A and B are shown apart, each in its own frame.
Chain A
């Protein structure tokens, strides 16, 4: 999926963009920026349509009883599977708030 890496990345300092963080590794309440979606287009589309786009801010607000992440994006609450969350490459924005 390297071809779909968004151009917005080019403005970032290199070493930051290189850190491969996955949404699944992010602690609760830590806002991150989505860098890349490692999913084939048809699987990514439902996410894209709901505003989970490269460059958007994602905050994992809770984990479900089964350990799957519930995230907040643009004021929407979305429940994902952790398998999906592990396909979302993110980068840190700020420290714990």
Chain B
């Protein structure tokens, strides 16, 4: 594996010197997980990297520019959180390598900003000593000062600055208090002289060359930290009352799992109920704009391309934006509130039985949004074999790209009737079943993997539980906005391109009167080549084309069917996707198609990121074939059972 996170030893510094001329100062932002590094980074740079209330959100370095004042900009690097410098996980290794100047594309920092959660000063200050060993300008940021004060804590930060010999700033990065002082520090950072020897291997939990067992090294360092903490008259904050109260419910023996279940049910039900009015709105907008356009264009190939091809194809995907947003709204609330970490605790026993680390639960959960960041987040999993197992089962988590496919097929084939009163309808139940199917496949796969290819001892599980925090409407709103942009951009690029190609294939070979009947077109011919392979599943050639195009990304099948049906029914301008589907697909085949999508790895970005994170083609190829076999046989069985 030779990507950025694992540079070959000692190669970094020499190249850093080459990159030296005319660069701006580089400052590293480090600190324990969940101490607010990314929040501060976003404040300073104006960027929007992911912030959430659980440890291990950032797993890769990220560089941003800070405009300190009119004539001065510096570069700031956001890094994965670390508790120490053993670099047991890949994300921790990124941080250590960056600080020691061992990354190929970044030189060693000219200064560091060490940001800690000051409500638990003692354990967080354990990082100070190793960081000071780097002997570069350091700023200590006491973040979450608001929480310290609110819970009745205090400390003399001037004294702390004096004792440690570094500047100290109190901040509340969430609202921006103290950020200007951080900027002031950044503006004073000078580019370091490069004649110095590389600071390789300065950072470690155990001082090098000393024959101390690790435990003693820690105890002694802690003793020194305690001495400092005593002298700055640290008043430890009282317990966070709201956190205790909420945990009494969320981690209760009976209420805890019940609340967990209720949360899940509400999410699924609201995807079908809340999102519907919004969906109807978007649908109306797309159909009416399509009609408006159609009336203004003269009948010809361009009108056909735009209306039957692009509008029908892209439009049929865009309709699902509201459902995606509802999903992300819930994920956002869960992530920002601190509930995620509790869910991981509740699920840990299951993970343990399966043979996975409890830690792996958080990356897996983020797989419900998208598998790509989830696979990256698996870097926080300690054991390499456990990490691979986690990566391997991540694509079984139902990502948001499957949602349009599920929603379309469910709306077309499953009646809108209540199942358990108002609590849950048939549609939500089927959706839930599909998510469950993914989880089952993941559990079984992990179980098998951990007993064959990736055998390893179950690791230890230590999970930091952050205090509950009220998610801010602003941060959730921005997240939804960013998510919409990503979704629409994908619709505007991938799906747009695919629909144009598909439309063109439906137009040839030209007959005298115009385009051929769709079965005779190039697309139809291609489809008929595929058809025998999927006939046992009860799919016709149109679905076959959809399955091929959805290899790029799952939701492309919706756009594809939109275009094919759009061209086929060119006389009718309304969106006829659901009705046409009902005509072309038996209910059993529809279930088969749903099962196929629950299992198949139809996502090139996932394959690409897997290749990068596992360092080769072996795992992604194995994964792709395994999931394809599962999908095919699953659909084959489903068609016969239903």
* Contacts from A to B (Cβ < 8 Å): 3-4, 6, 8, 37, 39, 41-56, 61-66, 68, 70, 72-81, 84
Residues in A neighbouring B120, C-beta threshold 8 A: 51, 74-76
Tell me which residues from 80 to 121 in chain B have a Cβ below 8 Å from any Cβ of chain A: 83-84, 86, 88, 119-120
Tell me which residues from 189 to 231 in chain B have a Cβ below 8 Å from any Cβ of chain A: 205, 213-216, 218-219, 222
Residues in A neighbouring B84, C-beta threshold 8 A: 45, 48-49
Q: Which residue of A lies closest to B86 (CB)?
A: A45
The answer to whether B348 touches A76, judged by C-beta atoms less than 8 angstroms apart, is no
Residues in A neighbouring B15, C-beta threshold 8 A: none
The answer to whether A50 touches B123, judged by C-beta atoms less than 8 angstroms apart, is yes
A45 to B407, CA, bound (A): 46
The answer to whether B213 touches A55, judged by C-beta atoms less than 8 angstroms apart, is no
A61 to B241, CA, bound (A): 13
The answer to whether A8 touches B236, judged by C-beta atoms less than 8 angstroms apart, is no
Tell me which residues from 444 to 484 in chain B have a Cβ below 8 Å from any Cβ of chain A: 459-467
A29 to B464, CA, bound (A): 19
The answer to whether A65 touches B253, judged by C-beta atoms less than 8 angstroms apart, is yes
- B345 touches A (CB below 8 Å): yes
Known contacts A53-B222, A65-B256, A81-B348; A74 and B122 CB within 8 A of each other = yes
- B251 touches A (CB below 8 Å): yes
Known contacts A66-B349, A70-B345, A81-B348; A43 and B460 CB within 8 A of each other = yes
A41 to B219, CA, bound (A): 14
Residues in B neighbouring A72, C-beta threshold 8 A: 239
The answer to whether A49 touches B219, judged by C-beta atoms less than 8 angstroms apart, is no
Q: Which of B119, B252, B344, B466 contacts A65 (CB 8 A)?
A: B252
Candidate in B120, B123, B243, B352 with the most chain A CB atoms within 10 angstroms: B123
The answer to whether B251 touches A49, judged by C-beta atoms less than 8 angstroms apart, is no
Residues in B neighbouring A73, C-beta threshold 8 A: 123
Residues in B neighbouring A64, C-beta threshold 8 A: 251, 256, 345-346, 348
Q: Which residue of A lies closest to B215 (CB)?
A: A4
Return B41 CB to nearest CB of chain A, in Å.
23
- B7 touches A (CB below 8 Å): no
A70 to B463, CA, bound (A): 9
- B126 touches A (CB below 8 Å): yes
* Contacts from B to A (Cβ < 8 Å): 83-84, 86, 88, 119-120, 122-123, 126, 205, 213-216, 218-219, 222, 236-237, 239, 243-244, 247-248, 251-254, 256-257, 341, 344-346, 348-349, 352, 358, 382, 459-467
A84 to B152, CA, bound (A): 33
A6 to B236, CA, bound (A): 26
The answer to whether B349 touches A78, judged by C-beta atoms less than 8 angstroms apart, is no
Q: A51-B120, A62-B248 are in contact. List 17 more A-B contacts (CB 8 A).
A: A4-B215, A4-B216, A41-B215, A44-B214, A45-B205, A46-B462, A51-B123, A61-B244, A63-B253, A65-B256, A72-B239, A74-B120, A75-B236, A78-B464, A78-B465, A79-B348, A79-B465
The answer to whether A81 touches B215, judged by C-beta atoms less than 8 angstroms apart, is no
The answer to whether B88 touches A45, judged by C-beta atoms less than 8 angstroms apart, is yes
The answer to whether A84 touches B122, judged by C-beta atoms less than 8 angstroms apart, is no
The answer to whether A44 touches B215, judged by C-beta atoms less than 8 angstroms apart, is yes
A66 to B119, CA, bound (A): 28
The answer to whether B216 touches A68, judged by C-beta atoms less than 8 angstroms apart, is no
A55 to B216, CA, bound (A): 11
Q: Which residue of B lies closest to A51 (CB)?
A: B123
Q: Which of A54, A68, A79 contacts B219 (CB 8 A)?
A: A54
A54 to B349, CA, bound (A): 27
Return A94 CB to nearest CB of chain B, in Å.
17
Candidate in B214, B256, B346, B460 with the most chain A CB atoms within 10 angstroms: B460
Known contacts A66-B348, A66-B349, A74-B120; A53 and B218 CB within 8 A of each other = yes
Residues in A neighbouring B463, C-beta threshold 8 A: 78-79
Q: Which of A8, A49, A55, A81 contacts B460 (CB 8 A)?
A: A81
Residues in B neighbouring A8, C-beta threshold 8 A: 219
Residue pairs across A and B with Cβ atoms less than 8 A apart, 5 shown, are: A68-B348, A70-B247, A70-B345, A78-B462, A79-B344
A53 to B219, CA, bound (A): 6
The answer to whether B461 touches A79, judged by C-beta atoms less than 8 angstroms apart, is yes
A47 to B219, CA, bound (A): 12
The answer to whether A70 touches B462, judged by C-beta atoms less than 8 angstroms apart, is no
Residues in A neighbouring B88, C-beta threshold 8 A: 42, 45-46
Known contacts A51-B122, A53-B219; A81 and B352 CB within 8 A of each other = yes
Residues in A neighbouring B218, C-beta threshold 8 A: 48-49, 53
Residues in A neighbouring B86, C-beta threshold 8 A: 45, 49
A70 to B218, CA, bound (A): 23
A74 to B121, CA, bound (A): 8
Residues in B neighbouring A61, C-beta threshold 8 A: 244
The answer to whether A49 touches B464, judged by C-beta atoms less than 8 angstroms apart, is no
Candidate in B243, B349, B382 with the most chain A CB atoms within 10 angstroms: B349
Return B365 CB to nearest CB of chain A, in Å.
16
Residues in B neighbouring A66, C-beta threshold 8 A: 345-346, 348-349
Return A9 CB to nearest CB of chain B, in Å.
11
Residues in A neighbouring B251, C-beta threshold 8 A: 62, 64-65, 70
The answer to whether B345 touches A79, judged by C-beta atoms less than 8 angstroms apart, is yes
A26 to B42, CA, bound (A): 43
